[in-house]
Structure 1
Amino acid sequence: MLATRFTLFIAIMAMISSLANAFDPDPLQDFCVSVNDSKNAVFVNGKICKDPKIVIGDEFFFSGFNRPGNITSPVGSKVTRVSVDEMPGLNTLGISLERIDYAANGGLNPPHVHPRASEILYVMEGTLYAGFIASNSKDPNIRNKVFAKIMYPGDVHVFPRALIHFQMNVGETKAVAFSSLNSQNPGIITLANSLFGSAPPIDPRVLATGFQLDNNIVSDLQSRLWMQN
């Protein structure tokens, strides 16, 4: 009897294990519309695998993280990314890396989200104010709560997947940080760019009501040039 129960237990656990592993992979692109016509098909997640016989070492290599980024942008920062587009060898590995340079006295990596990755940030130089915002929870104690810290060289901060986060240089010298993300193509949605720089523009009434702003202010924001950091 005991042996029968043990056998049944093993069978049930095997079934649960197989079900737990039967899931769709996380998407590495914004959308993937199904199509029956193979002539109009594209590769899922945008990449295919190269024949191993013609792979070369340079496809697993990137050079340049030792060079500062151009921080003369309107927000005073520059993000240098190494994702699968810059390093083909990252394909299917689920990781990517960034270097972020910040101008002194307010250089900002604006509020943004990575829809496909969590991020861990390491400060190399300077002093950053960095944090993320919890989602609009039903619990008023954590609803839209900000988790932020002043960071110094050697400090590390994590930003959970798909939550709004930011970093700003609050020091009087330039700052440099490196971040690692658990996706080969984490994606980025910079809130101001997406909302006020969309193409075609969102109906200003949507943004005016949503942000409780005057229509003229929204129109002015939509007329500006929103550059990708």
Structure 2
Amino acid sequence: MTQDQAVLRLDRVSRVYGRSSAAEVCALREVDLAVHAGEFVAVMGPSGSGKSTLLTMAGGLDSPSSGRVLVEGRELGGLSRRRLAEVRRRSVGYVFQDYNLIPALTAVENVALPRELDGTGSRTARREAMAALEELGMAELADRFPDDMSGGQQQRVAIARALIGDRRLVLADEPTGALDSNTGEAVLAVLRARCDAGAAAMMVTHEARHAAWADRVVFLRDGRLVDETGRAEAETLLAAGAEQ
């Protein structure tokens, strides 16, 4: 697959926080990265290495200080606020580390919301939301509010919301953090299946056994992309993690 077919491309992306040189923090430093249709990429690195910042750049939730972010060939920095919101609703599914569910909405209403905001009828949106919840083993809790669910249940609802509709790019920040081992593996299998069906996914994780589900693992340190491995090396990571 050629570079032009990348679903996500970061072109020399840097992100600097702080207005003065004394307070300046460089979270990302000239990162080049492409994620293609059908590809599952895991991002690893120590705390503070820029992993979550990388995802916020990729999802258009923040803008780079320099460089370009392109989703399906569209440069996010060149879009109006309305067009950027449309891209996030239609093309990008984002799993936040703190879930970001709306407390006043039930599980199925939270999952259906992006589709309804995009003009899908409520009946169709609910049907799609139920299918996404079913895929994550959460259909029986469809009418429950977030405050009445465990952290792991909320996390699975958040993942269902990221997967509803024809999302070409799925971004997940520690998507198995609140889940037990078996449920976490089931969630990763769902993400893997979405990639096998043609979506692109990028997941931040600190666990080697989870990274082993990916086609490629990239490593960040001090905001720089310092290394990457292919599928065979990822499976080696799994073996190493099993021994710990």
Q: TM-score range by the shorter chain?
A: under 0.3
Higher relative contact order (CA 8 A, sep 6+): 2
> Which has more radius of gyration?
1
Which has more helix, going by share of residues? 2
**What's the TM-score once normalised by structure 1's chain length?**
0.27
